[in-house]
């Protein structure tokens, strides 16, 4: 019950998360006791030195990985020990990913890339085409529906990725260095787009090492040696 309530207000709740990688005899504590809550509709930038555990945290956030111990409540559900299929279903329903290298499928068109998660949700073809067209115009690519990703600029590709992440109306948007492969002008464009999505109510959690990019977020979380150094 308590989780239900906190789930509505805090879609992401971490309770004492640990992630330990065993490398032979050595143990790497990638996450070493992380407890945090992310409020609905907030925009977070996760920062920290290389190796501090940012990617590990994002992978667990995105249900691509499971913590060694501790609990992760996503929208009120404990997802820390689900099986592979259930994690797939959770990703499909709750999470939108935006990657540094865009990660579009080259043989699919812009429209097909945007519609890809809808395909896995079993949405029929006609409806998913409509949704794809709608989100393409949200990111300003209504004239590029039939194009292949390779025919687009980096900024345009990242906008396709944003449209794909939004297509299923996920609970959280996860962005991993979303401007890492873009020039500064395009980076501004993309960040403004993410800010807009956040203003429209999406919870956005972004990993970045650039302070200028982190400025766009309302909150900053600083990681250090697998622990939270500060949250503001």
Partner 1 sequence: MKINHSRIRRDFKLGLKNLLLHKLRSLLTMLGLVFGVGSVIAMLAIGEGASAEAMEQIRKLGSRNIIISAQKAADESGSSQDDVRMSIYGLLYDDAERINNTIPTVKATVPVKSMQHAARYGKRAIDLRVVGTTEKWFELVEREVIAGRVMTKRDVKNFASAAVLTEYGARRLLATSTAIGTGIRIGGNTYEVIGIVKSESSADGSMQTPDQMIDVYIPLSTAKEHYGDVFHQRKQGTNIRESVELHQLIVYVDEERNVEKTAEAIERLLALFHKKKDYAISVPLALLRQAEATKRTFSIVLGSIAGISLLVGGIGIMNIMLATVTERTREIGIRRAIGARRNQIVSQFLIETMVLSLGGGLIGIGVGVFIPWLVTIFAHMPTIVTLPSIVVALGISVSVGIIFGIYPAVRASRLDPIEALRHE
Ligand X SMILES: Nc1ncnc2c1ncn2[C@@H]1O[C@H](COP(=O)(O)OP(=O)(O)O)[C@@H](O)[C@H]1O
**Which lies closer to ligand X via its Cβ, residue 87 or residue 123?**
87
Residue 50 interacting with ligand X (CB under 6 A)? yes
* Selected binder of partner 1 within 6, 37, 71, 88 (CB under 8 A): 88
Binding partner selected for residue 105 from Mg ion, partner 1, ligand X, none, CB under the kind-specific 5 to 8 Å limit: partner 1
| Residue 145 contact partner, candidates ligand X, partner 1, Mg ion, none, CB within 5 to 8 A by sort of partner | none
Number of residues interacting with Mg ion: please give it, by CB under 5 A: 1
**Cβ atoms of residues 10 and 44 within 8 Å:** no
Site string for ligand X, 54-83 (x = CB under 6 A): xxx---------------------------
Asked if 23 interacts with ligand X (CB under 6 A), we say yes
Q: How far apart are CA 78 and CA 82, in angstroms?
A: 8
β-sheet bridge partners, residue 45:
206, 220
Query: Is residue 64 within the footprint of partner 1 (CB under 8 A)?
Result: yes
Q: Applying CB under 8 A, which of residues 3, 32, 89, 225 lies at the interface with partner 1?
A: 89
Cβ atoms of residues 133 and 142 within 8 Å: yes
Rule CB under 6 A: is residue 208 a binding residue for ligand X? no
Q: How many CA atoms lie within 13 A of 143 on its CB side?
A: 1
Smallest distance, ligand X to C-beta of residue 211, A: 16
DSSP characters for 37-80? EE-TT-EEEEEE-TTSSHHHHHHHHTTSS--SEEEEEETTEE-T
Which of ligand X, Mg ion, partner 1, none lies near 20, with the C-beta cut-off 5 to 8 A by kind?
none
Q: Which residue, 25 or 50, has its beta carbon nearer to Mg ion?
A: 50
In angstroms, give the least distance from the CB of 126 to partner 1: 10
Chosen residue from 4, 8, 16, 51 binding ligand X by CB under 6 A: 51
Q: Which of 88, 113, 112 is nearest to 99 (CA)?
A: 113
124 scored as a contact of partner 1 (CB under 8 A): yes
43-48 and 219-224 strand pairing: parallel
Query: 117 or 155, CB closer to partner 1?
Result: 117
Which whole-number Å values give the CA distances from 203 to 110, 206, 228, in the listed order? Answer: 25, 10, 20
CA 188 to chain centre: 18
């Amino acid at each position: 019950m308590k989780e239900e309530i906190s789930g509505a207000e805090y879609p992401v709740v971490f309770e004492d998360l640990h992630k330990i990688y065993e490398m032979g005899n050595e143990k790497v504590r990638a996450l070493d006791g992380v407890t945090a809550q992310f409020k609905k509709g907030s925009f977070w930038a996760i920062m920290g030195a290389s190796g501090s555990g940012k990617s590990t945290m994002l992978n667990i956030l995105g249900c691509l990985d499971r913590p060694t111990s501790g609990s992760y409540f996503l929208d009120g559900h404990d997802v820390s020990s689900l099986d592979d299929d259930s994690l797939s279903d959770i990703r499909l329903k709750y999470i939108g990913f935006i990657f540094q290298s865009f990660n579009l499928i080259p043989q699919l068109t812009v429209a097909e890339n945007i519609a890809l998660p809808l395909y896995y949700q079993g949405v029929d073809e006609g409806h998913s085409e409509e949704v794809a067209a709608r989100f393409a115009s949200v990111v300003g690519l209504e004239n590029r529906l039939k194009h292949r990703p390779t025919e687009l600029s980096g900024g345009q590709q990242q906008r396709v990725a944003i449209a794909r992440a939004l297509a299923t109306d996920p609970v959280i948007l996860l962005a991993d260095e979303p401007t890492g492969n873009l020039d500064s002008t395009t980076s501004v464009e993309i960040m403004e787009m993410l800010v807009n999505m956040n203003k429209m109510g999406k919870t956005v959690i972004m990993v970045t090492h650039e302070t200028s990019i982190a400025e766009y977020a309302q909150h900053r979380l600083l990681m250090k040696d697998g622990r939270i150094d500060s949250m503001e």
